[in-house]
């Protein structure tokens, strides 16, 4: 089962509309909350008049900072599993406005329509203060970020080594450039929503859009001072997350607050416009200086990043460390700084930091290769790192990047490239080929799972993880089916419920490794238990066998020497007095094994673009991504992840940006008509290669996760292709047509 | 979104009466623009008058050889109608360059004429906007002037240095650009009876009244759009330059129809979209082409004349050069091959 291209097990539910999302759980006597958002960026609310709204028939309450119920006192209580260092934002906390779009009132009514209308009748006066939101204006004020637990998985840069400035000055070949990235918003298809079912004795069943039911539960219990058994969070389906659901968003807080105050069930859903009112991929400015020796080996690497954060938290991401992992240069300086601005805290967005930093360094490497007169691919072979100096010179647990380069280049036809810019054209169309490297972490964290052999001989496995559309349901089903030798249709995997065994938030491409390992140990434990029971059955043909003598296949435990000697799994449950047989398990990363290695997935992207010479429009006509991500559990769902990542790469490189008018601190393109992401016509020929990679260090399954690595290489490969087509180095993203006119 | 009444009048006369009765009544046709604006609280009608049952859903031949496009025919049905494809392929291709198949299936010809600007500030009721402020909805001023104006106009704008009476918005339709090039005529019925408005006069520049998009009067309903006989089926092109391959409004677009005598231009129509508060045409520019053979050199003065007086506002400066290039490409292309859409 493992390694087979199984179609999504949740596919039929999704395409037939059976799959329910947070705003689709209809509970009796539901009320509806609509959020009123601030229209200024910074200042004080001087008057808030809710009388007109309250006068409407059907309006139950309008919550503001003035009348909100008391919630937890300490900052700490508002922290969640993904909180950066600082003081988390608290909805309706007081009269202070800290960012544009901040929730300042919640109108709750008997119907959604009345609530929405009433929300327009809430009158607010502000005393506005000048706001600062433009990172480019404040670069000189950048500072070191506060560090915290978040940096465990998002390390800050290591200390410099060697003397990069001197090496840069003395080397024969060099380049230097500045790269500017704008803001982006995740914009999953499903808007954020929470349905709170208010039960007996105030018990809350919460249907939440989240990438971690356990995270939402933790947050609610702390913020509202409740015990875990009073709060159950359910989130079986997530209509896309991309990181936006890594933290509980304010609609959760508001829905719970209202439900408790009114002792009613409440649903709060955000609008598409309000999807711009919390976390984003931060604007980042990077400066890079590279130098090479005459033979094309790197002599100096300097990579500096300055990113924005909010006034209340130090959100950080790993932007520059990738450079050190990819290029082992003796004279290297990596630095990362932040600047607090009047905005909401940024939030991890698919390949956070990676897509930003790797775009810059991989464009810089391309430029340096050109300056050195070396083919960009050869240049990367020449400067291939065998160890990771950012992690104390550890070797890689596995690194088949070379194979990615070779196989990707072969499939793409890289050897037919003419290196000269503007050397490939067709009429008005300039053709360019570019390539770049991608890299992403291969982490594993602790998780738990439960496996049950039910009375009717089916296997039910569960863990409180999420499936944000990545295929978690499917691969976990495969793992369980394989380990217990059962057909897929007899195996059911369930997730997204805090009544299930604990799992962390789904992010960082670690779910396959993390939850997969938990499912593995749990199913193995269940297998042992079943074997013991089978042996004890009266007249058991396995009575004298050891566990190592048997294997699980076709829903039987069979003797290796003679597979016809077997006990059906159904017989074991029958024998168990008709009771189900269950086992729980915990998987912990094997630190002893992992600690001496740097662990990453790698990729290489090769891209062809067509650029209209007169209009500057760019189309990615074809792209090949070769990916080394350990063992591929399901080539079909994995390929979808990589293709999705590649489309994100096209988006980042050419189209996507949240535009803010810094005079107001307000986003101007807060809808999907004006916030551009690729449409079908922009997505042409995308090809994926999975390179063979064996890794028994990363985790027991040997998997590395494919959710993010497919995106990382694409923007630079596209920008490099645009250079090859036009001779223009466009350092800032997105590369909209006016930059090429 | 506010509560509203809904009616579905049985006749045109009733529609006109209801519409003229209140300044807060709005016609709803396909709803693809109006509903969005209502959700954003930009439009807050007290009454929606659904005209979808009125008899304007056909495309008919006119006695003079032209074609009458009913106001309620969808954009998709218009673009794929055999007579439109045959005689007015420029219109077909232009419509198909707009929006998405789903939207074109809902959007009507009448509604398309009335679609409002995509100016970001117009859509955000907390932002200063002279176009919106006239309906007592949000602060006055023009945030786009001096703000983020990448998609804004370069021709025929109203601008003053403090933005108090400015409007630099564009009218975003594709279809109307072809209709303008084709000299279409809009048929309207209102409290004072019927009248015909040539496309060139239908939309207006912002002038001192940026809140008025067009020259219709309160209570007037568009019933049809008439296409004259000449459809330039042999030499035409619509070029639409935009930020992605589909489902994006034009940054600049050019509709061209030519009549050629061998290599020589006998008649020319050139209309621009995405550059002004209305589709942009200048007959004196078109005259410059007549009697010429086509080459970048002969077209350049035409582009210069069309774009005379163009100015950018920062983010949209590039549109001037882009429009120039697009005009040259579109005219050349129309003369060379029968202009497939780009
Ligand atoms: C995401 C998106 C992308 C789009 N992209 C494009 C594009 O690329 N190019 C393009 O050209 N268009 C584009 N459109 C706009 C689309 O073409 C228009 O929304 C559509 O044509 C409007 O037609 P409708 O019938 O839906 O109008 P409605 O929304 O029903 O009405 C619009 C307005 O017209 C008035 N009205 C309607 N019919 C009449 C009538 N017969 N007489 C008088 N008044 C009337 C209504 O009162 C209303 O004020 C896009 C729209 C969206 C939402
Ligand atoms: S350009 Fe026109 S529509 Fe846009 S903000 Fe200015 S006045 Fe309003």
Q: Would you say residue A224 lies in a domain?
A: yes
- For residue A630, give its domain range: 396-441+597-741
Structural domain tally of chain B?
Answer: 1
* Cβ contact B322–A655 (<8 Å): no
Chain A residues within 8 A of B124 when measuring between CB atoms: 666, 668, 670
Chain A CA closest to residue B123:
A668
* Cβ contact B143–A664 (<8 Å): yes
* Cβ contact B246–A680 (<8 Å): yes
Q: Would you say residue B284 lies in a domain?
A: yes
Structure tokens at A550: 């048997």
Q: Which CATH number is A636's domain given? A: 3.30.365.10
% of residues, chain B, pLDDT over 70: 97
Phi-psi region of B135 (alpha: psi -120 to 50; beta: other; left: phi over 0): alpha
Tell how strand A429-441 and strand A424-426 pair up. Answer: antiparallel
Substitution target in A38, A654, A738 with the highest count of B β-carbons within 10 Å is A738
Helix (H, G, I), strand (E, B) or coil at A717: helix
Report the 10 Å Cβ neighbour count for A122.
Answer: 21
What does the pLDDT read at residue A89? Answer: 96
Task: For residues A3 and A461, give the distance between their C-alpha atoms in angstroms, rounded to a whole number.
Answer: 19
Cβ of B241 closer than 6 Å to ligand 1, yes or no, is no
What does the pLDDT read at residue B336? Answer: 81
A391 is catalytic: no
Structural domain tally of chain A?
Answer: 4
Model confidence band, residue B6 (pLDDT cutoffs 50, 70, 90): very high
Whether A568 and A463 share a structural domain: yes
- For residue B261, give its domain range: 236-341
Model confidence band, residue B1 (pLDDT cutoffs 50, 70, 90): confident
Q: Please give, rounded to a whole number of angstroms, the shortest distance from the CA of B322 to a CA of chain A.
A: 6
Chain A residues within 8 A of B326 when measuring between CB atoms: 614-615
Structure tokens at B53: 């049952």
Whether A400 and A385 share a structural domain: no
What does the pLDDT read at residue A611? Answer: 98
B21 contacts: CB under 8 Å, gap ≥ 6: none
B342 Cα: distance to centroid of ligand 1 (angstroms): 23
Point out the ligand nearest to the CA of residue B151.
Answer: 2
Task: For residues A486 and A483, give the distance between their C-alpha atoms in angstroms, rounded to a whole number.
Answer: 8
What does the pLDDT read at residue A123? Answer: 97
Substitution target in A125, A614, A651, A675 with the highest count of B β-carbons within 10 Å is A614
The answer to ipTM > 0.85 is yes
Average pLDDT rounded to a whole number, residues B100-108: 97
* Cβ contact B118–A615 (<8 Å): no
Structure tokens at A587: 């998987």
The alpha carbon of A173 is separated from its chain's Cα centroid by a whole number of angstroms, namely 37
DSSP B272: E
**Could you give the C-alpha distances from A173 to A141, A292, A295, A334, A374, in angstroms and in order?**
32, 5, 10, 20, 11
A556 Cα: distance to centroid of ligand 1 (angstroms): 64
Chain B CA closest to residue A657:
B243
**Could you give the C-alpha distances from B61 to A466, A594, B186, B228, B342, in angstroms and in order?**
59, 78, 15, 10, 29
Point out the ligand nearest to the CA of residue B72.
Answer: 1
* Cβ contact B325–A120 (<8 Å): no
Q: Please give, rounded to a whole number of angstroms, the shortest distance from the CA of B228 to a CA of chain A.
A: 32
Structure tokens at A606: 């090769």
Whether A102 and A213 share a structural domain: yes
% of residues, chain A, pLDDT over 90: 96
Cβ of B130 closer than 6 Å to ligand 2, yes or no, is yes
Cβ of B144 closer than 6 Å to ligand 2, yes or no, is yes
Nearest atom in ligand 1 to the alpha carbon of residue B71 is 41
What does the pLDDT read at residue A508? Answer: 80
Phi, psi of A442, deg, nearest 5: -120, 80
* Cβ contact B241–A737 (<8 Å): yes
**Could you give the C-alpha distances from A493 to A236, A461, A463, A473, in angstroms and in order?**
11, 5, 8, 6
Task: For residues A47 and A356, give the distance between their C-alpha atoms in angstroms, rounded to a whole number.
Answer: 42
Chain B residues within 8 A of A669 when measuring between CB atoms: 120
B30 Cα: distance to centroid of ligand 1 (angstroms): 7
Q: Would you say residue A272 lies in a domain?
A: no
Q: Would you say residue B79 lies in a domain?
A: no
Whether A231 and A86 share a structural domain: yes
Chain A residues within 8 A of B241 when measuring between CB atoms: 615, 617, 737
**Could you give the C-alpha distances from A239 to A371, A381, A410, in angstroms and in order?**
45, 40, 37
Task: For residues A190 and A348, give the distance between their C-alpha atoms in angstroms, rounded to a whole number.
Answer: 18
Asked whether the predicted pLDDT for residue B94 surpasses 80, the reply is yes
Q: Which CATH number is B306's domain given? A: 3.30.390.50
Model confidence band, residue B341 (pLDDT cutoffs 50, 70, 90): very low
Q: Would you say residue A427 lies in a domain?
A: yes
Task: For residues A487 and A354, give the distance between their C-alpha atoms in angstroms, rounded to a whole number.
Answer: 39
Contact (CB, 8 A) for B139 and B293: no
Whether A466 and A518 share a structural domain: yes
Task: For residues A167 and A331, give the distance between their C-alpha atoms in angstroms, rounded to a whole number.
Answer: 7
* Cβ contact A117–B120 (<8 Å): no
Q: Would you say residue A13 lies in a domain?
A: no
Model confidence band, residue B163 (pLDDT cutoffs 50, 70, 90): low
For the beta sheet containing A123-128, the strands, ordered from the edge strand earlier in sequence to the opposite edge, are A96-97, A43-49, A123-128
What does the pLDDT read at residue B340? Answer: 40
**Could you give the C-alpha distances from B35 to B44, B107, B129, in angstroms and in order?**
10, 12, 20
Task: For residues A195 and A25, give the distance between their C-alpha atoms in angstroms, rounded to a whole number.
Answer: 7
Structure tokens at A583: 């086992």
Nearest atom in ligand 2 to the alpha carbon of residue B206 is 2
Asked whether the predicted pLDDT for residue B338 surpasses 80, the reply is no
Asked whether the predicted pLDDT for residue B337 surpasses 90, the reply is no
Domain stop point among A264, A296, A312 = A264
Whether A354 and A417 share a structural domain: no
**A432, A378, A383: which is closest to A406 by C-alpha?**
A378
Contact (CB, 8 A) for A194 and A671: no
* Cβ contact A738–B318 (<8 Å): yes
Domain stop point among A530, A563, A588 = A588
Substitution target in B35, B147, B245, B251 with the highest count of A β-carbons within 10 Å is B245
Whether A45 and A117 share a structural domain: yes
Structure tokens at B244: 């992605």
What does the pLDDT read at residue A77? Answer: 87
Whether A103 and A234 share a structural domain: yes
What does the pLDDT read at residue B180? Answer: 98
Whether A164 and A310 share a structural domain: yes
Phi-psi region of A162 (alpha: psi -120 to 50; beta: other; left: phi over 0): left
What does the pLDDT read at residue A633? Answer: 96
Whether A118 and A175 share a structural domain: no
The burial class, CB within 10 Å (0-12 / 13-18 / 19+), for A207 is buried
Whether A610 and A571 share a structural domain: no
Q: Would you say residue A8 lies in a domain?
A: no
DSSP B81: -
Chain B CA closest to residue A613:
B325
Q: Please give, rounded to a whole number of angstroms, the shortest distance from the CA of A284 to a CA of chain B.
A: 20
% of residues, chain B, pLDDT over 90: 93
- Answer whether the bond into residue B190 is a cis peptide, omega within 30°: no
B173 Cα: distance to centroid of ligand 1 (angstroms): 9
- Answer whether the bond into residue A316 is a cis peptide, omega within 30°: no
Model confidence band, residue B230 (pLDDT cutoffs 50, 70, 90): very high
Q: Would you say residue B324 lies in a domain?
A: yes
Substitution target in B239, B244, B341 with the highest count of A β-carbons within 10 Å is B244
Q: Would you say residue B252 lies in a domain?
A: yes
Tell if the pTM clears 0.90, that is, is over it. yes
* Cβ contact B126–A666 (<8 Å): yes
Whether A54 and A64 share a structural domain: yes
Cβ of B111 closer than 6 Å to ligand 1, yes or no, is yes
Q: Would you say residue B303 lies in a domain?
A: yes
The burial class, CB within 10 Å (0-12 / 13-18 / 19+), for B35 is middle
A→B contacts (Cβ < 8 Å), by residue, are 39, 113, 116-117, 120, 271, 273, 428, 614-617, 619, 654-655, 659, 661, 663-664, 666, 668-671, 673-674, 676, 678-682, 736-738, 741
Question: For the packed helices A354-372 and A714-726, what is the interaxial angle rounded to 10 degrees?
Answer: 40
What does the pLDDT read at residue B250? Answer: 98
All residue ranges of chain A with pLDDT < 50 are none
Point out the ligand nearest to the CA of residue B122.
Answer: 2
Structure tokens at B288: 């410059």
């Amino acid at each position: 089962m493992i390694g087979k291209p199984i179609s999504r097990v949740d596919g039929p539910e999704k395409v037939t509309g059976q799959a329910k999302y947070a705003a689709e759980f209809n509970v009796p006597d539901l009320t509806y909350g609509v959020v009123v958002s601030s229209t200024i960026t910074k200042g004080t609310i001087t008057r808030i008049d809710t009388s007109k709204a309250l006068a409407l028939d059907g309006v139950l309450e309008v919550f503001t900072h003035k009348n909100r119920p008391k919630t937890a006192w300490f900052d700490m209580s508002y922290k969640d599993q993904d909180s950066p260092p600082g003081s988390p934002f608290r909805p309706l906390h007081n009269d202070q406005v800290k960012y544009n779009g901040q929730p300042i009132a919640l109108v709750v009514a008997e119907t959604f329509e009345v609530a929405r209308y009433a929300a327009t009748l809430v009158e607010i006066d502000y005393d506005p203060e000048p706001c600062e939101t433009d990172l480019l204006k404040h670069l000189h004020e950048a500072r070191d970020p506060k560090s915290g637990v978040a940096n465990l998985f998002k390390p800050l840069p290591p200390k410099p080594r060697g003397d990069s400035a001197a090496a840069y000055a003395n080397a024969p070949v060099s380049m230097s450039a500045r790269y500017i990235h704008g803001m982006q918003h995740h914009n999953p298809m499903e808007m954020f929503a929470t349905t709170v079912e208010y039960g007996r004795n105030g018990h809350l069943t919460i249907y939440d859009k989240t990438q971690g039911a356990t995270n939402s539960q933790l947050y609610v219990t702390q913020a509202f001072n409740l015990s875990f058994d009073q709060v159950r969070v359910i989130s079986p389906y997530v209509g896309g997350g991309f990181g936006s659901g890594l933290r509980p968003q304010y609609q959760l807080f508001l829905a719970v607050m209202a439900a408790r105050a009114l002792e009613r069930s409440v649903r709060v859903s955000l609008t598409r416009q309000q999807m711009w009112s919390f976390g984003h991929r931060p604007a980042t400015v990077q400066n890079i200086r590279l130098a090479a020796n005459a033979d094309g080996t790197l002599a100096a690497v300097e990579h500096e990043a300055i990113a924005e954060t909010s006034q209340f938290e130090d959100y950080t991401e790993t932007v520059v460390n990738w450079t050190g992992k990819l290029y082992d240069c003796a004279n290297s300086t990596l630095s990362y700084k932040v600047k607090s601005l009047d905005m909401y805290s940024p939030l991890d967005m698919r390949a956070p930091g990676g897509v930003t930093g790797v775009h810059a360094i991989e464009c810089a490497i391309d430029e340096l290769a050109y300056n050195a007169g070396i083919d960009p691919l050869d240049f990367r072979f020449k400067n291939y790192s065998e160890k990771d100096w950012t992690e104390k010179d550890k070797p890689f647990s596995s690194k088949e990047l070379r194979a990615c380069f070779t196989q990707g280049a072969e499939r793409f036809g890289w050897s037919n490239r003419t290196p000269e810019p503007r050397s490939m054209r067709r009429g008005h169309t300039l053709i360019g080929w570019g390539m770049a490297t991608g890299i992403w972490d291969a982490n594993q964290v602790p998780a738990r799972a439960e496996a049950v052999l039910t009375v009717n001989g089916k296997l039910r496995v569960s863990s409180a993880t999420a499936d944000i559309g990545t295929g978690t349901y499917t691969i976990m089903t495969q793992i369980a089916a394989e380990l217990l030798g059962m057909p897929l249709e007899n195996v059911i995997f369930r997730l997204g419920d805090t009544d299930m065994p604990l799992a962390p938030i789904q992010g960082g491409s670690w779910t396959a490794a993390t939850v997969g390992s938990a499912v593995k140990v749990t199913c193995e434990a269940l297998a042992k238990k079943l074997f013991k029971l089978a042996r004890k059955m009266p007249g058991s043909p396995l009575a004298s066998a050891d566990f190592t003598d048997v294997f699980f296949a076709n829903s039987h435990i069979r003797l290796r020497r003679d597979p016809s000697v077997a006990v059906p799994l159904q017989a074991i449950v029958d024998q168990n007095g008709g009771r189900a047989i269950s086992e729980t398990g915990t998987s912990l990363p094997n630190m002893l094994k992992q600690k001496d290695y740097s662990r990453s997935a790698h990729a290489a992207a090769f891209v062809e673009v067509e650029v209209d010479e007169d209009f500057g429009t760019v189309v990615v006509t074809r792209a090949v991504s070769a990916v080394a991500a350990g063992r591929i559990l399901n080539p079909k769902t994995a390929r979808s992840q990589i293709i999705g990542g590649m489309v994100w790469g096209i988006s980042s490189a050419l189209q996507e940006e949240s535009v803010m008018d810094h005079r107001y601190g307000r986003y101007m393109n807060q809808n999907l008509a004006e916030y551009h992401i690729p449409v079908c016509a922009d997505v042409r020929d995308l090809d994926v290669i999975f390179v063979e990679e064996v890794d028994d260090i990363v985790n027991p399954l040997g998997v590395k996760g494919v959710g993010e690595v497919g995106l990382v290489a694409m923007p630079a490969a596209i920008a490099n292709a645009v250079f090859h087509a036009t001779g223009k180095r466009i350092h800032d993203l997105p590369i909209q047509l006016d930059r090429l006119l | 979104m506010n509560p509203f009444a809904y009616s579905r009048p049985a006749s045109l006369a009733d529609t006109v009466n209801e519409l003229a009765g209140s300044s807060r009544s709005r016609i709803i046709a396909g709803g693809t623009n109006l509903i969005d604006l209502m959700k954003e609280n930009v439009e807050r009608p007290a009454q929606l008058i659904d005209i979808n049952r009125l008899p304007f859903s056909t495309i008919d031949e006119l006695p003079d050889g032209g074609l009458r496009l009913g106001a309620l025919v969808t954009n998709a049905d218009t673009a794929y109608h055999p007579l439109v494809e045959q005689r007015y392929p420029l219109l077909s291709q232009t419509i198909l360059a707009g929006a998405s198949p789903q939207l074109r299936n809902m959007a009507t010809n009448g509604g398309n004429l009335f679609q409002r600007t995509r100016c970001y500030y117009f859509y955000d009721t907390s932002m200063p906007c002279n176009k919106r402020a006239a309906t007592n909805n949000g602060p006055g001023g023009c945030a786009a002037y001096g703000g983020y104006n990448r998609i804004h106009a370069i021709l025929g704008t109203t601008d003053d240095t403090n933005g108090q009476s400015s409007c630099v918005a564009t009218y975003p339709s594709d279809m109307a650009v072809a209709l303008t090039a084709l000299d279409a005529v809009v048929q309207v019925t209102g409290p004072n009876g019927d009248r015909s408005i040539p496309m060139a006069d239908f939309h207006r520049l912002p002038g001192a009244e940026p809140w008025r998009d067009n020259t219709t009067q309160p209570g007037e309903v568009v019933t049809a759009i008439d296409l004259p006989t000449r459809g330039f089926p042999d030499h035409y092109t619509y070029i639409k330059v935009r930020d992605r391959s589909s489902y994006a409004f034009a940054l600049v677009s050019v509709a061209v129809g030519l009549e050629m005598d061998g290599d020589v231009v006998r008649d020319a129509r050139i209309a621009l979209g995405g550059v002004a508060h209305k589709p942009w045409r200048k007959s004196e520019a078109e005259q410059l082409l007549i009697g010429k053979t086509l080459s970048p050199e002969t077209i350049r003065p035409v582009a210069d004349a069309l774009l005379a007086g163009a100015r950018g506002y920062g983010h949209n400066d590039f549109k001037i050069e882009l429009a120039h290039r697009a005009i040259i490409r579109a005219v050349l292309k129309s003369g060379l091959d029968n202009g497939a859409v780009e």
